[in-house]
């Protein structure tokens, strides 16, 4: 009954969420822009590499794409043409070459790398601050059919002074995993909740929390300063305004999950999101007036 009620409320909530939904990345958007008509399933990867600055620089230089890759694309006449894509900041080809021509065959790629494509739509971002002499760099990219776990194993063996942490999501399954390597050896491989993965890696906190703050109905957007609101008080205020379901449905939308995931999202809401939101309210971003 609760899920059905949530679904009914979702139909009323969607118009108010339109500005939010337009800013959320969709995995499908990447797959349709790949130019590869034979690729149906994609893996969303986040790779963090940590270690001495010199070793990080050596890794980055050794694994950058040195030449364009060639992606198959259908022609208007039903044939297959290969179009060159610009070199990116990460490629599996330098460490484990599968083709001298640059035209990658899916079977050979999967055997060598664990996925059917080279890294695509790569973004290289600075990682979390580290102690003096150490550095962290983060790569976000997509791969075909699965994560590049075989390449990751080889990269860890070639760079034993670095730590590798791969977080990946298989949207079509859906399932999410985390894998870690240190000194060339795998430390762990564990499955995690898809909702938790999306919350940690794909939800823009400030934008989402600003939307939630609007549901609280604070006078002039001002928070009580003498005593900070606790999570239970935030929840009570939402309930008093009839906005408790709206808050969870808003979270569903930011997680790119439908109203049917209301039950699972409720667990994430109470365990993780609500406490973080209560704390965020008293950060500079949370105290900023709309």
User: Which residues contact residue 129 at a Cβ distance below 8 angstroms, ignoring those fewer than 6 apart?
Assistant: 136
**Total residues found in the chain within this entry:** 290
How much is the average pLDDT of 222-251? 90
Q: What is the pTM of this model?
A: 0.74
CA distance 188 to 146: 18
Reported as a pLDDT band with limits 50, 70 and 90, residue 275 is: very high
| 214: Cα separation from own chain's centroid | 25
d(CA 133, CA 200): 27
- If one counts every other C-beta atom within 10 angstroms of the C-beta of residue 125, the result is 12
Count CA atoms closer than 13 A to 64's CA, side-chain side.
10
Q: How many helices (H) and strands (E) does the chain have?
A: 12, 8
127-185 confidence digits (pLDDT tens):
887 788 899 999 999 999 999 999 999 999 999 999 999 999 999 888 999 999 999 99
Q: Compute CA 188 distance to the chain's CA centroid, rounded to the nearest angstrom.
A: 20
Gap between the Cα atoms of 163 and 185, Å rounded: 10
pLDDT of residue 257: 73
* Complete domains list, the chain, with CATH: 2-25+202-287 (no CATH), 41-197 (3.30.70.1270)
Q: Is the dihedral of CA 269, 270, 273, 277 positive or negative?
A: positive
Closest C-alpha to 210, from 287, 135, 266 = 287
pLDDT at 76: 58
Tell me the average pLDDT across 13-34. Answer: 39
Chain-centre distance for alpha carbon 37: 23
């Amino acid at each position: 009954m609760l899920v059905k009620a949530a679904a009914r409320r979702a139909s009323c909530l969607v118009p108010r969420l339109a500005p939010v939904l337009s800013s959320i990345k969709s995995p499908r958007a990447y797959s349709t822009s790949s130019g590869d008509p034979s690729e149906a399933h994609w893996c969303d990867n986040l790779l963090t590499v940590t270690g001495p600055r010199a070793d990080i620089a050596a890794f980055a230089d050794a694994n950058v794409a040195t030449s364009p890759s060639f992606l198959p694309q259908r022609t208007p006449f039903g044939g297959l043409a290969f179009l060159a894509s610009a070199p990116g900041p990460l490629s599996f080809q330098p460490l484990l070459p599968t083709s001298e021509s640059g035209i990658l065959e899916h079977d050979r790629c999967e055997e060598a790398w664990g996925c059917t494509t080279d890294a695509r739509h790569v973004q290289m971002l600075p990682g979390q601050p580290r102690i003096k002499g150490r550095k962290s760099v983060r790569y976000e990219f997509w791969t075909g059919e699965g994560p590049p776990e075989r390449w990751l194993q080889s990269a860890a063996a070639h760079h034993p002074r670095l730590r590798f942490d791969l977080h990946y999501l298989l949207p079509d399954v859906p399932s999410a995993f985390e894998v870690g390597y240190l000194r060339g050896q795998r430390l762990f491989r564990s499955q995690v909740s898809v909702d938790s993965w999306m919350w940690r890696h794909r939800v823009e906190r400030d934008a989402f929390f600003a939307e939630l703050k609007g549901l609280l109905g604070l006078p002039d957007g001002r928070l009580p300063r003498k005593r900070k609101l606790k999570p239970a008080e935030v929840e009570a205020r939402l309930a008093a305004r009839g906005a408790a379901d709206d808050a969870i449905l808003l979270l569903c939308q930011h997680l790119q999950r439908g109203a049917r995931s209301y039950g699972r999202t409720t667990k994430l809401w109470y365990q993780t999101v609500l406490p973080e939101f209560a704390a965020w309210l008293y950060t500079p971003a949370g105290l900023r007036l709309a």
